[in-house]
Amino acid sequence: MAKGSESERLEGNSAGKKVCPECGSDSFIQDETRAEVCCGNCGLILDDKIMDFGPEWRAFNSEERNRRSRVGSPMTLTVHDKGLSTMIGFEDRDIFGKKLSASKRAQAYRLRKWQIRTRVHSSVDRNLAHAMAELDRISSQLGIPRSVKETSALMYRKAIDRRLIRGRSIEAMIAATVYAASRIRHVPRTLDEVADQSRVNRKELGRCYRLLIRELNISIPPVNPIDYLSRFGAELKLSGACQKRAAEILEKAKEKGLTAGKDPTGLAAAAIYIAGIQEGERRTQREIAETARVTEVTVRNRYKELVRQLEIHIVV
């Protein structure tokens, strides 16, 4: 729902159809509070100078001024202090580069000491600092857009509040939030992909994920195979038309109830195989199976099924 309205606005603002120069995807995420537009598939930031078109509120007191001010660095949840703090520097010089007096220097030293103590040395913050570093690592490995990263970070913070982290590994819980967030934001990664990039095995990851959604009362609908198309399509260098064709096939399959209980990656792979043949961009079953991380047999079974049930005629 939100995704649709975002991309509509984007297309409305620009002349012609916009596609990501990095991966060719045409889904974008627009974030006015961060003044950014990024690719919904690979997370490439396409425009970081968009205007805030919100009303120019006037402020009548200092509280309102703080709330309504639209300058300053953007807030982010992926840094353990949300990126808002000012660090007291290490050089004992003032802004003009002049040496500080002895008493000022002593004061700066004390401030620094307390800043470090309060910032990183409380156990929650230490945990968060570690977790956010891991989140950075994992999401860059998986090529995950920043909006998903923010969602993960938010979930992790909630998990800490609900005391779900103690006694469990930070890596496992972060990986679980990444998996969950990628599904929520419709750029799913498979359990295996996430597990491969963390030091957690698939089983443990699955357990943490289930715990997370149960305890935080999050309901995540089953993965829609269509959500995989842009990523697999980009990896296989398929045209937009071909990806669109694959999406149509999956829509029809869904209407006919052929998708229930089937591995969504396998379905996406099969649809891509069929669409590739129809659009003259044939890829072998093995190539597709590899990118979708299923076996050729699965691609084959699904595609045979689709062809039969949807009465698709393929001219080879």
List of residues contacting DNA (CB under 7 A):
202-203, 206, 261-263, 266, 282, 284-286, 293-298, 300-304, 316
**C-beta of 116 vs 297, nearer to DNA:** 297
* Chain centroid, CA 208 distance in Å: 18
CB of residue 203 to DNA, shortest distance in Å: 5
**C-beta of 39 vs 299, nearer to DNA:** 299
CB of residue 262 to DNA, shortest distance in Å: 4
Instruction: Please report where in the chains the tokens 């393929």 appear, as a residue.
Output: 314
CA-nearest of 98, 93, 64, 77 to 33 is 77
**C-beta of 28 vs 209, nearer to DNA:** 209
CB of residue 249 to DNA, shortest distance in Å: 16
CA-nearest of 260, 193, 176, 179 to 224 is 260
CB of residue 187 to DNA, shortest distance in Å: 21
CA atoms within 13 A on the CB side of 234: 18
* Cβ count near 240 (within 10 Å): 14
**C-beta of 82 vs 293, nearer to DNA:** 293
Distance from C-alpha of 18 to C-alpha of 219, rounded to nearest angstrom: 32
Q: What are 196's two structure tokens? A: 């491969």
Distance from C-alpha of 209 to C-alpha of 178, rounded to nearest angstrom: 9
CB of residue 312 to DNA, shortest distance in Å: 13
Q: What are 119's two structure tokens? A: 């910032």
**C-beta of 40 vs 225, nearer to DNA:** 225
Alpha helix (H) residue ranges in the chain: 2-13, 62-68, 102-119, 123-142, 146-161, 170-184, 191-197, 202-215, 226-235, 240-255, 264-278, 285-292, 296-309
CB of residue 87 to DNA, shortest distance in Å: 44
**C-beta of 126 vs 256, nearer to DNA:** 256
Distance from C-alpha of 17 to C-alpha of 21, rounded to nearest angstrom: 12
**C-beta of 232 vs 303, nearer to DNA:** 303
CB of residue 248 to DNA, shortest distance in Å: 20
Q: What are 168's two structure tokens? A: 């469990």
